[in-house]
Every structure is written in C-alpha cells, then in structure tokens.
C-alpha cells in the first residue's frame, strides 16, 4: 500500500463522511419544512374554526329570534360537527408531525452511526498503513546502516579473503562476507 493509496483512501473516506452529513442536513431541512407546513395547517384550521364559530354564533342569534320555538338544537349540532371536524384535523396534523419527527430522528441516528462506523474503519485503516510504513522505514534504515558499515570497511581497507569470497571488518570487530546476503540488524 503506497502513500498515494492511503491518501486516496482518506479522500474517499472524507467524501463518504461528507455525504452522510449532507443527507443528515437534508433530513433536518425536510423536517423543518414539514413542521412549518403543519404549523400553517394548524393556523388555517384555527382560523376556519374561529370563522365557523363566529358564523355559528351569528346564525344562533338570528335563528333564536326567528325560530325560538324550534329550538337551537340543529344549529348547535352543526356547529359542534364543524368544531369536531376542526379538532380532528388538528389532531391528525399533530400525529403526522410527531410521526415524521420520530422517523427523522431514527434516520438521523442511523446516519450518525454509519458515519461513526465509516470514520472508525477509516481510522483503523490509516493507523494500519502508518504502522506498516513505520516498520518498512525501520527495515530500510537498518539496511542503509548496514550498507554504510560495509562501505566504511571498504573505504578503510578492512578487507580480507575468506573462504571463496571477500570479507570486510565491520564495527572494528566482526568479519562479514560481502558476497552473501546478510540479515539486516534491528
């Protein structure tokens, strides 16, 4: 895994998190719009209710004078039906709003958990890549130090034939064959 791969993975993770945040913001905006629509509907219902009540009261006054002997049962029943209908509309609007708020809350929570999980997985991937890069760098540094010691031995003339190859004195004490691959020291 190269640094470019890690950077590409980090950019993709950032875009994914940004997408989750954008979706969450859209849900919040939709809920705000729905709440405003329901508030306006409730206002309209309230106004209609007031108008119906005003008309009913006026009709009651007129009907009382003209039809006192028939009683007020019929206009009262109509007014009561109108009021019950308006109350039912307000209750339905409130229940719908509550349902949408609850649904949006669940959706927002799910989105937040998905974003958290994506961030956690991405963080673990980045940490793993960092550990790998560190280990690789340490191995390369050890090899570079080994090569520097061999080059110093060659430069100082600490070379001698050994067996079927050439050996160099390293660290002023050890003889190491130059024609064999050496295990890097750690």
Q: Domain with 79 in it: what CATH number? A: 1.10.287
Residue 131: per-residue pLDDT: 92
Instruction: Assign 150 a pLDDT band (cuts: 50, 70, 90).
Output: confident
Let me know if residue 172 belongs to a domain: no
Let me know if residue 9 belongs to a domain: yes
Residue 179: per-residue pLDDT: 65
How do residues 50-73 score in pLDDT, each as one tens digit? 888 788 778 777 776 666 546 556
Mean predicted confidence (pLDDT) in 108-132: 87
Residue 71: per-residue pLDDT: 57
Let me know if residue 165 belongs to a domain: no
Mean predicted confidence (pLDDT) in 163-183: 71
Let me know if residue 180 belongs to a domain: no
Mean predicted confidence (pLDDT) in 17-31: 82
Let me know if residue 177 belongs to a domain: no
Phi-psi region of 100 (alpha: psi -120 to 50; beta: other; left: phi over 0): alpha
Q: Which DSSP category does 180 fall into?
A: S
Here the tokens at position 65 are: 């004078």
Q: Please, what's the largest Cα pairwise distance for the chain? A: 137
Residue 166: per-residue pLDDT: 77
Residue 43: per-residue pLDDT: 86
Question: For the chain, how far is it from start to end, CA to CA, in angstroms?
Answer: 23
Let me know if residue 118 belongs to a domain: yes
Residue 186: per-residue pLDDT: 44
The helix/strand/coil state of 186 is coil
Full-prediction pTM beyond 0.85?
A: no
Beta-carbon count within 10 A of 53 CB? 14
Mean pLDDT of the chain: 80
Task: Look at the chain and report how many structural domains it folds into.
Answer: 1
Mean predicted confidence (pLDDT) in 24-47: 84
Let me know if residue 123 belongs to a domain: yes
Beta-carbon count within 10 A of 54 CB? 10
Give the contacts of 168 (CB within 8 A, at least 6 positions apart): 150, 153, 154, 158, 159, 160, 175, 176, 178
Let me know if residue 181 belongs to a domain: no
């Amino acid at each position: 895994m190269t640094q470019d791969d890690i950077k590409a993975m980090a950019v993709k993770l950032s875009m994914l998190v940004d997408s989750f945040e954008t979706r969450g913001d859209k849900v919040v905006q939709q809920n705000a719009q729905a709440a405003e629509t329901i508030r306006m509907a409730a206002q309209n219902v309230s106004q209609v209710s007031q108008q119906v009540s005003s008309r009913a009261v006026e009709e009651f006054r007129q009907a009382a004078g003209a039809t006192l002997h028939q009683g007020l049962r019929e206009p009262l029943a109509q007014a009561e039906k109108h009021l019950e209908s308006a109350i039912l509309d307000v209750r339905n609007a409130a229940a719908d709003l509550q349902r949408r708020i609850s649904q949006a809350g669940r959706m927002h929570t799910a989105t937040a958990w998905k974003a958290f999980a994506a961030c956690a997985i991405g963080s673990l991937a980045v940490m793993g890549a960092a550990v790998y890069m560190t280990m690789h760098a340490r191995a390369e540094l050890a090899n570079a130090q080994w090569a520097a010691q061999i080059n110093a031995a060659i430069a100082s003339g600490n070379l001698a034939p050994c067996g079927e190859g050439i050996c160099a004195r390293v660290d002023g004490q050890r003889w190491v064959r130059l024609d064999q691959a050496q295990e890097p020291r750690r």
